[in-house]
């Protein structure tokens, strides 16, 4: 049965190439000072979605919430093979914390994209590093969530068999559809854009871009939009009304999080010793515990 897979993606500052005044005095990130990129683990989520589509058929829908320029990662998604992309963008969404963000995304899904089979998102974003939005979306949608999901092993009727990457162990779980997965870097190597799709979708435009495009082409905005729609190049853009959002729950008013202070924390390395998971390993662990007088 064909799958409807929704991928949640975020445009983030390129924290690998930090330059200039990156932090604002209030402790939040000055996004304009950094190049914007596709959050790396969201690319892993997109790749997982595309591979599932190749295996089982269906469609991959990518949603991002962000300022108008976040449309760049949606164009990128189209060039990598996404079937449909949606930009959630509204001035009133600005300054959302994870609670408001997950509300907005869940609201968009519930309003327009039901029913679906899976929501895939990156394990966490490299800017906030909270890893909260995915799980919160699952809660709001009332569906199962599997974090650190690095493989979808099989889809068995209404259930999905998933492998979790727990660093030094793997766990295999069975979850009922629909399910939300958060995908770590170890899951796959994201594909590059496809040249033919790139040649097509480089011309895709969001609602925010049509005015400039109309001016460039010397045509009316309506004409340009109609033309873009006809060629499948108009990127859907949803604001608060489009998703029936309660204004009190979006943007700054829906965000209880306050940044109190930012400090540089150096994590002190603890003494870590690894034992192999076999009889010899257990034997040497017990011997050591006895010798150290932890036991006996």
Bridge partners of 236? Answer: 86
Cis preceding-peptide flag for 115 (omega within 30 of 0): yes
| Inter-residue contact 163 to 146 (CB < 8 Å) | no
Give the x/- contact pattern for another protein in 218-257, rule: CB under 8 A: -------------xx-------------------------
Options 156, 192, 267, 271; binder of another protein; rule CB under 8 A: 192
CB atoms < 10 A from the CB of 126, how many?
A: 17
To the nearest whole angstrom, how small is the minimum distance from the Cβ of residue 233 to another protein?
8
Options 113, 198, 221, 225; binder of another protein; rule CB under 8 A: 198
To the nearest whole angstrom, how small is the minimum distance from the Cβ of residue 16 to another protein?
11
Q: Is 185 in the site for another protein (CB under 8 A)?
A: no
Three state DSSP letters for 197-254: HHHHHCCCEECCCHHHHHHHHCCCHHHHHHHHHHCCCEEEEECCHHHCCCHHHCHHHH
Options 176, 202, 215, 283; binder of another protein; rule CB under 8 A: 202
Options 40, 67, 135, 193; binder of another protein; rule CB under 8 A: 193
Q: How far apart are CA 226 and CA 137, in angstroms?
A: 34
Q: How far apart are CA 187 and CA 47, in angstroms?
A: 9
Q: Is 199 in the site for another protein (CB under 8 A)?
A: yes
To the nearest whole angstrom, how small is the minimum distance from the Cβ of residue 260 to another protein?
38
Chain residues binding another protein by CB under 8 A are: 191-200, 202, 231-232
């Amino acid at each position: 049965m064909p799958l409807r897979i929704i991928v949640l993606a975020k445009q983030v500052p390129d924290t690998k190439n930090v330059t200039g005044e990156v932090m604002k005095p209030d402790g939040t990130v000055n996004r304009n000072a950094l190049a914007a990129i596709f959050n790396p683990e969201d690319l892993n989520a997109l790749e997982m979605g595309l591979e599932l589509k190749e295996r089982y058929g269906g469609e991959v829908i990518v949603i991002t919430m962000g300022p108008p320029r976040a449309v760049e990662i949606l164009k990128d998604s189209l060039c990598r093979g996404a079937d449909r992309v949606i930009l959630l963008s509204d001035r009133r969404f600005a300054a959302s914390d994870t609670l408001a963000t997950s509300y907005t995304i869940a609201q968009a899904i519930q309003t327009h994209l039901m029913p679906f089979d899976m929501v895939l998102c990156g394990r966490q974003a490299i800017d906030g590093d909270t890893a909260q939005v995915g799980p919160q979306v699952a809660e709001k949608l009332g569906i199962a969530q599997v974090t650190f999901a690095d493989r979808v092993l099989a889809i068995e009727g209404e259930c999905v068999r998933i492998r979790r990457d727990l660093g030094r162990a793997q766990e295999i779980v069975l979850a009922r559809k629909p399910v939300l997965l958060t995908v770590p870097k170890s899951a796959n190597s994201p594909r590059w854009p496809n040249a033919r799709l790139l040649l097509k979708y480089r011309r895709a435009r969001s609602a925010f871009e049509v005015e400039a495009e109309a001016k460039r082409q010397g045509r009316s905005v309506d004409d340009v939009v109609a033309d873009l729609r006809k060629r499948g190049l108009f990127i859907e853009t949803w604001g608060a009304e489009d998703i029936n959002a309660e204004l009190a729950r979006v943007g700054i008013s829906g965000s209880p999080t306050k940044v109190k202070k930012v400090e540089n924390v150096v994590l002190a390395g603890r003494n870590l010793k690894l034992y192999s998971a076999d009889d010899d390993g257990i034997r040497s662990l017990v011997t050591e515990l006895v010798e150290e007088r932890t036991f006996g």
